[in-house]
Structure 1
Amino acid sequence: MKTLIALVTAAALSVVAGIAQARDLGPDEALKLRDAGTIQPFETLNAAALAEYPGGKIEETELEEEYGRYIYRLEVRDAQGVQWDIELDASNGQVLKHQQDD
């Protein structure tokens, strides 16, 4: 029983530590990163996301730092009205993930 409690506690701490590794960046910090060339211009990132869904529209964006990596998250509604969640590496514009929103 003690082993089970220890495993559950360790798992819970791992989840909390993982959550703590991601942080939202405000507009001022995001602009500083863009101006320093650390991340791609937002127009470039938006174009990369929309290239996945021609005729789509961006509904929401967010920049996060996660494990030392800048992730640009977007919600895009495609031409058929389906909403997609897209994640890009903000430093190079590479699409990391795109999935239909639930």
Structure 2
Amino acid sequence: MKALLALVSATALSLASVAQARDLGPDEALKLRDAGTIQSFEKLNAVALEQHPGAVVEETELEEEYGRYIYQVEVRDAQGQQWDLELDAATGQVLKNKQDD
């Protein structure tokens, strides 16, 4: 019974954390940018590229997580390595800068 309760609790926590992230579409992202809520995509991309000089942006995504806007960027550096970055879309602060496996 304890094992079942632990499994149910773990599943509920997993579902709650997944439900906290929401992908934003282009129209909503542009409205947030135009309102000054988030920084421009060009500026956020520049911050990501500063972390890996010579890299190119391959993919971007804007999410709302726990009431915070997170800009996710995948870049490929000059050596061909892929990096996953997360930036606070309001401030441009780098939250994550991890080499993709």
TM-score scaled to structure 1, two decimals?
Answer: 0.97
Cα deviation, residue 7, structure 1:
1.3
2:19 matched residue in structure 1: 20
Alignment correspondent of 1:70:
69
1:61 is displaced (CA, Å) by 0.2
d(CA) in 2 for partners of 1:81 and 1:10? 41
Instruction: Look up the match of 1:84.
Output: 83
Structure 1 residue 4 displacement after superposition: 1.6
Matches for 1:15-54 after TM superposition, within 5 Å: 15-54=14-53
Shift in Å, 1:49: 0.2
Q: Secondary structure at the match of 2:44?
A: helix
Determine the C-alpha separation between the residues in 2 that align with 1:101 and 1:68: 26
Return the alpha-carbon distance in structure 2 between the equivalents of residues 70 and 94 of structure 1: 11
DSSP 3-state at the match of 1:50: helix
Cα-to-partner distance string for 1:44-79 (whole Å, 9 max, x where unaligned): 100000000111000000000001000000110011
| Aligned length, in residue pairs | 101
- Amino acid in the other structure paired with 1:72: Y
Aligned to 2:2: 3
SS of the equivalent of 2:16 reads helix
Task: Calculate percent identity across the aligned residue pairs.
Answer: 67
Q: Which runs of 5+ in 2 are unaligned?
A: none
**1:98 counterpart residue number:** 97
Query: CA RMSD for the aligned pairs?
Result: 0.6
Structure 1's unaligned 5+ residue stretches are none
